[in-house]
Amino acid sequence: MEVKASTRDGNRLLCIMQNSYDKMHQRNSYNCIIMILGLPVHLFLFMFYVWRKRDNTYSSLLEDSKRSLADEGFKEKLRLEFRNQLIRKCEFFGQHVNESELEKQVENLAEERFLKIAREKTDKRLLKEGKTKSSYSNFFRSLLSQPLFFFLTLLPGLLMYLFIFMYSNPFVKYVFERLVISVFVVIGVVILVFSILYISPFEPAANIIGETATPEQISAFNRLHGLDLPYLAQLWEAIKGIVTFDLGASYAGNEDVITSIAKKFPITLIISLLSLVMAVLIAVPIGIISSTKPNSFFDYTFMFIALLGLSIPNFWQGLIFILNFSIKLQWLPATYNPQNWLSVIMPIIVLGTALTASVSRMTRSSMLEIINEDYIITAKAKGLNKRQVLWKHAVGNAMIPVITVIGLLFGGMLGGAAVTEKVFNISGIGSYIVDKQFIPDIPSILGGVVYVAITISLINVIIDILYAYLDPRIRSKIKQY
């Protein structure tokens, strides 16, 4: 019984992979990925397919079609038809008729049309007999259903089989496609940022060496850092450095760029994430409460505070916090200290204030829109109490635009943390990029911006997954796709 069960499971797996391959074969991009991932398998199979094709049924039927058409004199009719057409064309345009060129064109056109009609005739015959045209894709598809073939090619084609099996799960495929899109987004960010820095009027050598720099010193600096190379060569080195996590040394200070980013990026990410958590924990309940009591004292109070949060500049709020909580009350440290966790409280609040205000306002407006929908009225008519209607039917649907806003604002918060970091003397990635841009220190700026972009792209992938989790309509579309 166990052997039968395992055999049944194995056949089911092969059937799933075969069906997945049928769907993937319709898209050229997936075909290319399958060929690349399973290159050793496909090289051997293609040679075997070409050798086997010599005795192929389709080839023999095609030859039969050619012979039958030739016996009917069809090719001669085509030659005569094309010859008359070309002669009339030359006479119409007043061109001289060159017999050798004319015969060559007539032969090429007749052969091309003859072969096309022979293939059409063969395809009709195959269709009539219930057969399919032989192709490498059909050949590979037929082998996928063979357990022995799968076992023999499992090791060299492991990546290909994993990719095909991944496609069979719609949610895994959905996440994979989002990750691929993120890769292209990051490449676009690299090209855009590097191009802006390349055409920048600032001269790194003159800014670092100083006003007394001689042309020889500037030339030696540019040669040392590869700034004398063409645009495409520098761009290729930058992309290669991003992929291999090796951007070299910074122009100023000669410090390793990746090491510097690895030291400075975590604190920015931690503060941003904690600010995001603070915003969600405060803003979502406030937005829900305000929507359930519109135009009440609580609603006006909460929305007024949210409007203030949106209106206050970060740097001013940070300075006011330092003046009151550090200098006057002496409750919290004025500047960031890695050994003192209390020093991150004020930066978190300052950075998360605008996000909290935006999320609360969006939650309120989204909830008010959902509460007045027909299905909410129907749920109330069925006798569900207010809490059941709110949490089971309203909140989940209302969170979709809220999540969108959170993702967009988190990206801006992560990239715009430089002001808060400067106010609280935090050595994070934001202040690092700002300090380097006036040189401009191309490897440092490029590394900082790109790794921020990678983080934002991953956050957006997580948001897309949350869409599918919260909205059943999106889940159904993913399954159908």
Residues 384 and 271 in one domain: yes
Query: In this predicted model, which residue has the larger pLDDT, 127 or 446?
Result: 446
pLDDT at 118 over 50: yes
pLDDT at 317: 80
Tell me the per-residue pLDDT of 319-346, one tens digit each, with 9 for 90 and over.
Answer: 888 888 888 888 888 777 777 778 788 8
Measure the CA–CA gap between 167 and 33, rounded to whole angstroms: 12
pLDDT at 103 over 80: yes
Looking at residues 124-150, what average pLDDT do you find? 67
* Domain edge (last residue) among 85, 120, 155: 155
pLDDT at 1 over 50: no
**Nearest residue to 464 via CA among 453, 477, 451, 449:** 477
Give the dihedral of Cα atoms 9, 11, 14, 19; nearest 10 deg: -100
Residues 417 and 269 in one domain: yes
pLDDT at 203 over 80: no
pLDDT at 267 over 70: yes
Share of the chain above pLDDT 90, in %: 0
Q: 274 in a domain, yes or no?
A: yes
Q: Contact, 188 vs 175, CB < 8 A? A: no
pLDDT at 195 over 60: yes
pLDDT at 475: 66
Measure the CA–CA gap between 457 and 188, rounded to whole angstroms: 12
Q: What region does 427 belong to: left with phi over 0, alpha with psi -120 to 50, or beta? A: beta
pLDDT at 76 over 70: yes
pLDDT at 426 over 50: yes
Looking at residues 108-125, what average pLDDT do you find? 77
Query: In this predicted model, which residue has the larger pLDDT, 407 or 392?
Result: 407
pLDDT at 126: 59
Indicate the pLDDT class of residue 443, thresholds 50, 70 and 90.
confident
DSSP 62: H
Q: 217 in a domain, yes or no?
A: no
pLDDT at 273 over 60: yes
Residues 285 and 420 in one domain: yes
* Domain edge (last residue) among 100, 122, 155: 155
Range of the domain at 85: 2-155
Q: Which of 66-75, 176-185, 320-329, 381-390 has the lowest mean pLDDT?
A: 381-390
Indicate the pLDDT class of residue 125, thresholds 50, 70 and 90.
low
Residues 264 and 150 in one domain: no
Looking at residues 173-177, what average pLDDT do you find? 78
Tokens of 445: 């700026």
Measure the CA–CA gap between 148 and 481, rounded to whole angstroms: 31
Q: 465 in a domain, yes or no?
A: no
pLDDT at 3: 44
Q: Is 256 helix (H, G, I), strand (E, B) or coil?
A: strand
Residues 128 and 271 in one domain: no
Residues 150 and 285 in one domain: no
Tell me the per-residue pLDDT of 360-391, one tens digit each, with 9 for 90 and over.
Answer: 888 888 888 777 777 777 777 776 777 777 77
Measure the CA–CA gap between 143 and 145, rounded to whole angstroms: 5
What is the length of the chain?
481
Residues 270 and 150 in one domain: no
Q: Which of 145-154, 386-395, 472-481 has the lowest mean pLDDT?
A: 472-481
pTM: predicted TM-score of the whole model, two decimal places: 0.63
Average pLDDT across the chain, whole number: 76
Measure the CA–CA gap between 124 and 131, rounded to whole angstroms: 10
**Nearest residue to 163 via CA among 17, 9, 44, 14:** 17
Q: 218 in a domain, yes or no?
A: no
* Domain edge (last residue) among 438, 456, 474: 438
Looking at residues 424-448, what average pLDDT do you find? 78
Q: Tell me, what CATH number does 353's domain have?
A: 1.10.3720.10
Q: 188 in a domain, yes or no?
A: no
Q: 411 in a domain, yes or no?
A: yes
Looking at residues 187-206, what average pLDDT do you find? 79
Indicate the pLDDT class of residue 430, thresholds 50, 70 and 90.
confident
**Nearest residue to 247 via CA among 255, 184, 198, 434:** 255
pLDDT at 187 over 80: yes
Q: 246 in a domain, yes or no?
A: no
pLDDT at 291 over 70: yes
Number of domains comprising the chain:
2
Residues 133 and 265 in one domain: no
Q: 405 in a domain, yes or no?
A: yes
Tell me the per-residue pLDDT of 2-59, one tens digit each, with 9 for 90 and over.
Answer: 444 455 555 676 777 767 776 776 677 777 888 888 888 888 877 777 766 554 565 6
